[in-house]
Structure 1
Amino acid sequence: MNELCVIGGSRYFGRRMVENLRDEGVAVTVINRGSSPAPEGVTHLVADRDDEEALRRALAGRSFDAVVDQICYTPRQAAIAARVFAGRTARYVMTSTIEVYAGLEGAPFAEDAVDLAAQGAPDASYGGAKRQAEAVLAAQRDFGFVSVRSGHVLGGEDFTGRLEHYVRRIAEGLPVIVHENPKPSSFIHEPEIARFLAWAARADFTGPVNAASHGDLDVWRLCAAIGRAAYTTGEDVSPYSFERAFTMDTSRATGLGFAFSQVGDWLPGVVEEAVACAAV
């Protein structure tokens, strides 16, 4: 792969992926609205992905071996991308989410737990909109399509504040609000999802693929890694507390050749970094 386009890619694991590929000699083009600077040493195009004509103008005369779409959140955005990148790339990788399995029973979820051909009425939820965006891109025939369903990401320059929520509550002696009987979920280390996306962009398989470190994690174990916590139940539950098991089967990815790490190998370091950042 010589030419890669990344939609988004200016922060968190998208930025790490861009920097890794750049350092490996890949010619990376980042396209976003310009609110955040792209990493040094890459081509930066400014356009709003929701404005189809502006996107076409920004990409005029350009083509790529692959595209990694970090910020496709709706079926409308997917439809615009399908039209604009037709004829510009042979491969399109969408960063999707474990949330596409929200509301389903039968964890750990394999990729076929979601029937992309059977999406119905518009679903405004985060997971529902991601499912429908996947369905739009999967239905087109102009490029090979991959949807990377990422586990919950921990580590790195996390802007979500979810792990910080736990660190601060435990440090301040406040109870962590959880479900009556919280269940485990799948997680992935921030550098690992960056590597996975780059690997997926270079590969030749298509379709949905789950990405998560080996070994699930529940709210009890997460809190225990931070410190001694008090718990209570209530409606305003903390992030990463789940009513039902929310884990993914990653056998497709491992069968295709990607070697995942173990959650237990990186969790202590992630917690240590989060505690240090919260103390600043």
Structure 2
Amino acid sequence: MTKAREVLVIGGNRYVGKRVIDRLLAAGDRVTVLNRGSSPPPPGAVHAIGDRNDGTALAEAIGTRAFDVVLDQVCYTPRQAALARRVFAGRTGRYVMTSTVEVYEREHSAALVTESAVEPGAVAVDLELPWHDAEFLEEHYGEGKRQAEAVFSAGGPELPFASVRVAHVLGGEDDFTGRLGHYADRIRTGSPIAVPPSVHPATYIHVEEIADLLCWAAGEDFTGPVNAASHGLLTLDELCAAVAAHFPGGKAVFEVTESDEVSPFAFRRRYPMDNSRAARLGFSFGEVGQWLPTAVAETLGKDV
């Protein structure tokens, strides 16, 4: 009989995170969920309460426990990474951080972007930036993730580290982002959809698929970053067409603007992710075109 793993999930008790926790519990893992007490974990998981932004509180919440795997769903800054690295180094078999496609936001590539475009070891870290400021953090989301990866990757053998760079996530009736709702409202009412002069396609992943991939990554032994994106690119036209299919006679009306305020997924730069590393390591991706209609229907509460 395979020994149950001790798994710690930091944050992420909704949307993707709750799916990951459910999968881990179903697999027989002993799961502890760490958050600030805002929401209890699902039945079967242990609840650890602590502030991951406070090194002392984080250490007290964990106590003397050791973990086979830590899945960090909510690391956004190098400061958070530095605190976690200090607490978990030497007593964690594997540390997996949920990262983002936005680490590539400086890229503009005609080809699919591989993990080597952003090497964590080459990223400069600045712990003195105002990472505590919510507005600064929102404006520097990709940079915060880049630097967090860099901090963890410098941990060496005392903290085996992998990052999962997640494409734009779609699907689920519990999608709280409102991004597909933005398009549904405008298509239903005929209101304009603000886009930049040039809009580029992007890579996406279904919410169930990324939950599968994170659980898969927890059980592997690779280190470094992996891109997580379904096969195929999706244009904004295709996304809007999938939404419009639920509103007879509705269509997307685009309004070009030079303003920074544009609609979700209206990307000025082209940095679609190459998923071949994860595929070579053994994960099987779906095709974005196959799951898109279901994803839109789930979120909008419509029939496929």
TM-score computed with the length of structure 2 as normaliser: 0.88
| Structure 1 residues 114 and 193: alpha-carbon distance in aligned structure 2, compared to 1, 3 A threshold | same
Q: Please name the residue that 2:170 is paired with.
A: 154
Matched, 1:168 2:185: yes
In the other structure, the counterpart of 2:238 is 221
How much has 1:226 moved relative to structure 2? 1.0
Q: Please give the secondary structure, in 2, of the residue aligned with 1:18.
A: helix
SS of structure 2 residue aligned to 1:58: helix
Q: Which letter does structure 1 place at the counterpart of 2:179?
A: R
Equivalent pairs: percent with the same residue?
53
Aligned-partner SS, 2:301: helix
The CA distance in 2 between the partners of 1:74 and 1:148, in whole Å, is 15
Structure 2 unmatched ranges of 5 or more: 130-136, 245-250
Q: Please state how far the C-alpha of 1:118 moved relative to its aligned partner.
A: 2.5
DSSP-derived class of the 1:45 partner = strand
Q: Is the 8 A contact 2:99 2:163 kept in 1?
A: yes
- Matches of 1:64 and 1:117, distance apart in 2: 25
In the alignment, what sits opposite 2:112?
108
Aligned to 2:64: 61
Aligned partners of 1:108 and 1:245 also within 8 Å: no
Mapped to 2, the partners of 1:67 and 1:183 lie a distance apart of 35
Q: Which AA in structure 2 matches 1:214?
A: H
Q: Which residue of 229, 243, 253 maps to 2:268?
A: 243
Tell me, yes or no, if structure 1 residue 42 matches structure 2 residue 57. Answer: no
Q: State which drifts further: 77-86 or 119-128.
A: 119-128
The reply to whether residue 198 of structure 1 matches residue 221 of structure 2 is no
State whether residues 167 and 274 of structure 1, in contact with CA within 8 Å, keep that contact through their aligned partners in structure 2. Answer: no
Q: Give the aligned CA root-mean-square deviation in angstroms.
A: 1.3
| Alpha-carbon distance in 2 for matches of 1:273, 1:198 | 22
What is the TM-score when the length of structure 1 is the normalising length? 0.95
CA distance in 1, matches of 2:296, 2:28: 33
| Structure 1: 5+ residue stretches without partners | none
Deviation at 1:121, TM superposition (A): 6.1
Whether 1:264 and 2:279 are equivalent positions in the alignment is no
User: Equivalents in 2 of 1:97, 1:146: separation in Å?
Assistant: 13
- Measured against aligned partners, the alpha-carbon deviations of 1:133-169 in whole angstroms (never above 9, x if no partner) come to 0000000121210010000000122111111111111
Conservation of the 8 A alpha-carbon contact between 1:9 and 1:38: no
Whether 2:194 is the aligned partner of 1:177: answer yes
* 114-123 vs 38-47, which moves further: 114-123
Matched, 1:72 2:75: yes
Match of 1:71, SS state, is: coil
Distance 1:121 1:58 in 2: 27
Counterpart in the other structure of 2:134: none
